[in-house]
Amino acid sequence: MGVSALKRKDRKNKARANNAVSKIKQLLRKPEIRNVDVEAIKASFAEKKAA
């Protein structure tokens, strides 16, 4: 049993690892939201409410 190559298990393990890496890369690819002007957003809601 020690000499048999577990090809299907090897493919499955490599696919799992590649999927995990691709998920992490996808999460890191999304840009962060920075410098949000809260007052401007509040003012825009007030304008919509008045209209």
**Per-residue pLDDT reduced to its tens digit, 23-43:** 999 998 877 778 888 899 899
Element at 10 (helix H, strand E) = helix 7-29
Which pLDDT band holds residue 1 (cuts at 50, 70, 90)? Answer: low
Give CA–CA dist 39/1, Å, rounded.
Answer: 69
Which structural domain range is residue 34 located in?
Answer: 7-50
Across the chain, mean pLDDT equals 89
Residue 2 lies in a domain: no
Note whether residue 1 is domain-resident.
no
Overall domain count for the chain: 1
Q: In whole angstroms, how far apart are CA 38 and each of 1, 13, 25, 35?
A: 65, 46, 30, 9
Q: Read off the pTM.
A: 0.50
The pLDDT of residue 4 is 85
Q: Pick 2 or 29 by higher pLDDT.
A: 29
